[in-house]
Amino acid sequence: MRVLLIHARRFGFRALEKAIEEAEPLTAENASGEFSNALVVFTTVERGDSSRLRELVEGAAEDIAKVLTNVGADLVVLYPYAHLSRNLADPEESMRVLLELDSELRSRGVKVNRTPFGWYKEFRVECFGHPLSELSREFRVEELWRARAVEKKFVVLLPSGELVDPGEYVERGDDEELKILVAKEVFKRELPGGEPEVTEACNKFGFEWEPMSDAGHMRYGPHATVMVEAVSSYAWEVARSLGVPLLRVRGTNMFNVKFRPIREHAELFGDRLYEVETDRGAHVLRYAACHQQFAMVRDWVISYKDMPFGVFEVADSYRYEQPGELQICFRLRKFSMPDLHLLARDLREAVELSKLVQRKIHEEAGKLGRRYVALYNVTEDFFRNHFGELVEFVRNDGRPALIAIVPSGIYYWVVNVEYMVIDALGRPAEIATFQIDVGNAERFGIKYATESGGTGYPIIIHTAIIGSVERYIYMVMDTAVARKRRGQVPTIPAWLAPIQVRVIPVSREFLDYANEVLKRLVDAGIRADLDDRDLSLARKIREAGIEWVPYCAVIGERERSTGTVNVRIRENNLQKVMKVEELIEEVRREVGSYPQVPQATPLYLSRRPTLNYLARL
């Protein structure tokens, strides 16, 4: 907040016309005024001033009252003035601050007159001209979206329901992965550092930082694009497999903080928000699909008969992560979040739905050969009143979990579960999550007609069953790195491989047959290409290995004459002579029910530019 203080011998004003639609109503008392020996406080409220309102108004009122005494003025005229800063608060925030400042000054025995907010006004001022008659002040509060420091109490909960002190568990517990999580979260121990091999694996497929953007923003080469599209499609299929009616939507990325539910929700998220200033005021870039889905759902007519149901979107999400924390595919400032919100009638139904979500989360990790370790953030009231449900959640995890108990009433959720893998460097990496939200339905005005004819606010489950698109890919790559460390060939699932089959003729003599094979593969919906370059067979095979192509179909004289292909299978390093139909069936069997998206490169390598990320390998 910025103020200009004028000790005026005489001061007069008159409101003329509205400057903004939200202008304060005029009354006989505030439409005009004439004052003598007044301290006129021209006041500009800045964005964020209400985030620590009490500290702000107490500090400002104390200073204004001191100046009033020093100059011997009889009263204060509080004059809203939008010209001392370019960082203006929205009208609602400005009025809130001005009213609080008015009240605080009056509580200190100061006589106050306040001119109307939101009006063009003429004024006349005659300044005394002494050394203290013109003063300026700036009252700062802490950063607008600073995260709240919350005191947490940690315990380890065993599937049996027994509670164990975290320190004791680190000494005597038998789950080594949980002990790593406890050491990091509870005791803040430094974990192994270094550049993770998974970064190199991601780079191999064209996941790179974009140097011409902000830090933490990636670009996606052709291979990475295929993987992102495949995972995005798969996330929708996973959500649908829950068996709950779902609606898929799309939305915008920017929301104006002048709207109370947006502002309140954003304040809970803390200092990792991206902020954008436009001609319509301060906006935040959404950090998940919440804002858009909630803004949409509140306009729907919902009955208790409609629930439970869900809303899904693969949402562009923005989080202002610290530069030192950024990591390719894992900790980003812009990423894709397959966000699902399930609406339930009450907490009981929400808990049962969450168990369904929980089972699916573990099922998806298991498909990659991974197992999650869990951190449960729970409120004190949920821990106290629903301890049995908490034990059942942990029992369903099949291993002990770390529980962080936070004060009730701070967050919109009562349960917030973070599912993590311990990555190749021995560090916890959060992938999947679910939350039970008891606050946002009322905050955003999402209502439903109850069975009795009344109005209810649904409980909302937030979940990213497979995690963000990029973090899911991180887990896939970390799994490949783990294979490499065990002495195995690093691989990724065939449904995710940008090129599933590479056709490699021994020489140009066999291009005609190679083209026939390529056509049959492509017609079968398989992502395939043909290495028609004038290179040695060994180099072609080596380059296919660099790209982790699951199947290489080598073609020479024997293959042409027998109508077969000599298939090199990356996963087990086997060679097998197959009919083309057999190869097609083998690929289809491995892909299974996963989505099959189009490839993003030409069919012929001779027509493909040298991809920068492959050229470096």
Each residue's pLDDT tens digit, 56-91:
898 899 999 999 998 999 999 999 999 998 888 889
Range scoring the smallest mean pLDDT among 245-254, 274-283, 450-459:
274-283
Dihedral class, residue 444 (left if φ above 0, else alpha if ψ from -120 to 50, else beta): alpha
Report CA-CA distances (Å) from 560 to 130, 178, 550, 566. 102, 55, 22, 10
The answer to whether the predicted template modeling score (pTM) of the entire model surpasses 0.85 is: no
Between CA 410 and CA 433 the distance in angstroms is: 19
The average confidence (pLDDT) of the chain is 92
Residue 247 in this model has a pLDDT that exceeds 90 = yes
pLDDT at 196: 74
Between CA 460 and CA 39 the distance in angstroms is: 51
Which run of H or of E encompasses 180? Answer: helix 176-185
Residue 346 in this model has a pLDDT that exceeds 70 = yes
pLDDT at 338: 97
Residue 145 in this model has a pLDDT that exceeds 60 = no
Higher-scoring residue by pLDDT: 315, 195: 315
pLDDT at 257: 81
Contacts of 530 (CB under 8 A, 6+ apart): 502, 503, 504, 505, 514, 515, 518, 603, 604, 605
Between CA 315 and CA 338 the distance in angstroms is: 6
Contacts of 447 (CB under 8 A, 6+ apart): 298, 302, 441, 455, 456, 457
Only one residue has tokens 């011998």, namely 9
If one counts every other C-beta atom within 10 angstroms of the C-beta of residue 111, the result is 13
For 523-544, write each residue's pLDDT tens digit.
Answer: 999 999 999 999 999 999 999 9
Here the tokens at position 529 are 């290409």
DSSP string, 350-363: HHHHHHHHHHHHHH
Tell me the domains of the chain and their CATH numbers.
2-138 (3.50.80.10), 153-250+289-477 (3.30.930.10), 501-615 (3.40.50.800)
Which run of H or of E encompasses 377? Answer: strand 373-379
Between CA 78 and CA 496 the distance in angstroms is: 64
**331, 468 Cβ separation under 8 angstroms:** no
**369, 479 Cβ separation under 8 angstroms:** yes
Between CA 538 and CA 554 the distance in angstroms is: 11
Residue 147 in this model has a pLDDT that exceeds 50 = no
Here the tokens at position 456 are 């209810």
If one counts every other C-beta atom within 10 angstroms of the C-beta of residue 305, the result is 8
Please report which confidence band the pLDDT of residue 193 belongs to, taking 50, 70 and 90 as the band edges: low
